[in-house]
């Protein structure tokens, strides 16, 4: 999050995106429970020797690795700067539809929560329109933009993340009130830790690329000069003819080596290098061929990334390795589930999913369901009455249908939710899903004068449910 004084530019959006990968440390003035806890155990740790004995500091939000960025049609979101950043980080950019607020509903709803729970309580608040503003809010305005940003950050970390939300429901524990922080930790416990890039120079990937010549004094951008040791092999050369030839030869060698390292770093980020070297067990020569550089370059790159190089002829499969041919045959040909294969290998379903993606095996095909799940759904649908078959779009279809038959006996949905021991909002969501799957209204909602009742299609659906479960 970033508060800008006048207008927002592409660099501001890129900076906010960078903060998802690298959340800022928690200020000392914040309460201790506002710091986000560490999640999971990293595969590799880079330790700063000077910081080992220093204080332990948390961050104000979780570390994330975005996969999709939903944007409106603002210039900054469609700029070459932001789109190039997303391309480098492997983020898909999905534009929202014009004048369709529900495409980015969670963001719009968060803005309203921010306005109603925090901003309108601050002095100088102008309100969403002229009817909601005070007599003279300009007289009360005294926050600088960085102070307002700090206030919003603290409110998010200490209040919003820790307050239970009605829309956050675990289907297995519908009566448990969960906050955004709790549901995030719950998701990590079920799906595993989030892999984020560990490159210490990651921030440079979010800057705009500019072409500049390297001069003896460095490079010049917008009238400002920048210099550093990284430019030592790229400066213009001067001197006698003999010295010039020698320096040109040395410069050519350094330039070629530097260009090869840049190509290797772009093609082989730290996580990708580790995946190819440790997971796929490729040798340095094979990795170099993929990147189009020499083996010496990949060896030097491994040293920079802190990757321990294997001894020759040490490329056999390691413990926990899953062969791609075996996994493809068992999963696609024999129709075994990843959970079943994981139990056989002593690995979790999440790890088996990663191995499947690593070997290029399609895990999800239709509506996010695996092939064995789709085959099981198709078998269940073929045995169900015809009117119920559209509802078999995912696991637990019969459970949702039986629940709907039970709901139809009560006067209101709220009364049904209390009697069935589920959350009112979650029940409305499941009934709405069933209505969309069947393609017709199933219930006539209760009013003050009459109770809830079934439509003709709803009565046929309930009758088919009873017939199918007998």
Beta-ladder partners of 226 = 219
Query: Which residue has 């975005």 as its token pair?
Result: 66
pLDDT score of 58: 65
pLDDT score of 158: 87
Left if phi > 0, otherwise alpha if psi is -120 to 50, otherwise beta: which for 195? beta
Q: Which helix or strand (DSSP H or E) is residue 376 part of?
A: helix 371-383
Nearest to 195 by CA among 361, 43, 307: 43
CB under 8 A, 24+ apart: contacts of 370-376: 370/337, 370/338, 371/331, 371/332, 371/335, 372/331, 372/335, 372/336, 372/337, 373/337, 375/335
Nearest to 171 by CA among 191, 186, 189, 160: 186
Burial of 186 (0-12, 13-18, 19+ CB in 10 A): middle
Instruction: Determine phi and psi for 170, rounding to 5 degrees.
Output: -90, 120
Series of mean pLDDT values for 10-residue runs along the chain (470 residues): 83 90 84 68 52 58 83 87 88 86 86 89 83 78 85 89 87 87 83 77 86 81 82 57 37 56 84 83 83 84 83 52 79 75 81 80 57 64 83 77 90 88 84 86 84 90 84
pLDDT score of 426: 82
Assigned token pair, 240:
């006698």
Q: Which helix or strand (DSSP H or E) is residue 95 part of?
A: strand 92-95
pLDDT score of 240: 30
Report the distance separating Cα 258 and Cα 234, nearest Å: 9
Q: Is the pTM of this model over 0.75?
A: no
Q: Where are the domains of the chain?
A: 10-168, 324-363, 386-469
pLDDT score of 54: 55
Per DSSP bridges, beta strands 224-226 and 219-221 are antiparallel
pLDDT score of 223: 81
Q: Domain 386-469, what architecture?
A: Orthogonal Bundle (1.10)
Report the distance separating Cα 274 and Cα 305, nearest Å: 9
Give the Å distances, CA to CA, from 62 to 53, 183, 184, 291.
24, 12, 9, 33
pLDDT score of 322: 82
Per DSSP bridges, beta strands 92-95 and 68-71 are parallel
DSSP at 358: H
Report the distance separating Cα 449 and Cα 46, nearest Å: 68
For 224-322, strand residue ranges (E) read 224-226
Q: 3-class SS at 71?
A: strand
pLDDT score of 239: 33
8 A C-beta contact, residue 122 and residue 151: yes
């Amino acid at each position: 999050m970033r508060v800008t004084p006048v207008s927002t530019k592409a660099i501001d959006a890129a900076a906010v995106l960078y903060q998802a990968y690298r959340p800022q440390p928690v200020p000392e003035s914040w309460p201790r429970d506002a710091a986000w806890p560490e999640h999971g155990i990293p595969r590799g740790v880079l330790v700063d020797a000077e910081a080992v004995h220093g204080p332990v500091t948390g961050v104000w939000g979780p570390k994330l690795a975005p996969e999709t960025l939903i944007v409106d049609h603002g210039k900054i979101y469609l700029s070459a700067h932001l789109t190039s950043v997303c391309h480098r980080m492997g983020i898909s950019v999905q534009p929202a539809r014009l004048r369709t607020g529900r495409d980015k509903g969670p963001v719009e709803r968060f803005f309203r929560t921010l306005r109603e729970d925090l901003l309108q309580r601050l002095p100088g608040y102008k309100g969403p329109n002229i009817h909601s503003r005070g007599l003279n809010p300009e007289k009360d305005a005294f926050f600088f933009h960085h102070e307002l940003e700090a206030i919003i950050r603290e409110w998010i970390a200490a209040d919003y993340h820790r307050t239970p939300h009605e829309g956050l429901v675990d289907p297995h524990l519908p009566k448990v009130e969960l906050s955004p922080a709790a549901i995030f930790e719950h998701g990590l416990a079920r799906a595993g830790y989030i892999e984020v890039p560990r490159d210490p120079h990651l921030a440079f990937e979010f800057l705009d690329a500019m072409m500049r010549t390297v001069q003896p004094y460095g490079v010049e951008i917008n009238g400002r000069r920048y210099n550093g040791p990284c430019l030592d092999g790229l400066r213009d050369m001067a001197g006698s003819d003999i010295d010039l030839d020698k320096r040109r030869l040395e410069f050519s060698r350094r330039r070629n080596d530097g260009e090869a390292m840049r190509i290797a770093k772009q093609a082989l980020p730290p996580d990708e290098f580790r995946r190819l070297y440790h997971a796929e067990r490729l040798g340095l020569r094979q990795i170099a061929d993929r990147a189009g550089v020499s083996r010496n370059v990949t060896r030097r790159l491994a040293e920079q990334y802190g990757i321990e190089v294997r001894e020759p002829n040490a490329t056999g499969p390691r413990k926990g390795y899953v062969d791609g041919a075996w996994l493809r045959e068992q999963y696609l040909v024999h129709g075994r589930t990843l959970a079943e294969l994981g139990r056989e290998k002593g690995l979790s379903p999440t790890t088996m999913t990663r191995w499947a993606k690593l070997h290029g095996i399609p895990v999800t095909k239709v509506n996010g369901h695996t092939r064995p799940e789709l085959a099981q759904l198709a078998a269940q649908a073929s045995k169900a009455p015809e009117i119920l078959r559209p509802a078999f779009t995912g696991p637990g279809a019969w459970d949702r249908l039986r629940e709907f038959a039970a709901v139809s006996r009560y006067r209101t949905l709220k009364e049904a939710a209390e009697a069935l021991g589920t959350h009112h909002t979650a029940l409305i969501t499941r009934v709405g899903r069933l209505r969309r799957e069947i393609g017709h209204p199933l219930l006539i909602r209760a009013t003050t004068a009459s109770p809830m009742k079934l439509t003709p299609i709803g009565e046929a659906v309930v009758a088919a449910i009873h017939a199918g479960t007998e």
